[in-house]
Amino acid sequence: MKVGDLVTLSASGANLDMLARWSDRYRVGYQKKKSLVGMIIGIKEGKFYYERGKKIYEIRWFAPDGPVGRYGQHTRQPGFWRRDLKFISRA
């Protein structure tokens, strides 16, 4: 993944308790909103001990109510791990 790629939450990211309200199942099924889509605006190295060696992806969501990080709106460090995201299909 690189800056400028379009992404959405992967199955792993959508199954996190803190991100469940942004999953497609919840947004499309219950809230009648479109799927969450965003663009990678930055990549940095993790600074906490459990993130060492992992890249943290900062996302600008196109929806105004998107999550700040992998812990939803309650986070001390914004960003997502690679496993929380997937590419948007170009076709």
For residue 45, being part of any structural domain is answered with yes
Q: Give 6-19 pLDDT, tens digit per residue.
A: 999 998 888 888 88
Tokens 């992998």 locate to: 70
From the CA atom positions of the chain, what is the Rg in Å? 13
**DSSP secondary structure of 7-67:** EEE-HHHHTSGGGGGGSHHHHHHTS--PPP-EEEEEEEE--SGGGTT-EEEEEEESSTT--
Q: Is 67 part of any domain?
A: yes
Residue 74 lies in a domain: yes
Q: What is the pLDDT of residues 35-64, one digit of tens each?
A: 889 999 999 887 766 667 788 899 999 988
Residue at 39 is within a domain: yes
Q: Give residue-wise pLDDT tens across range 65-78.
A: 888 888 766 666 68
Any idea which residue has 């605006």 for tokens?
A: 41
Domain presence at residue 1 = no
The residue range of the domain holding 75 is 6-87
Q: How many domains does the chain have?
A: 1
Query: What does the pLDDT read at residue 50?
Result: 65
**Would you state the pLDDT for residue 38?**
92
Above pLDDT 90, what percent of the chain?
21
pTM for the full predicted model: 0.79
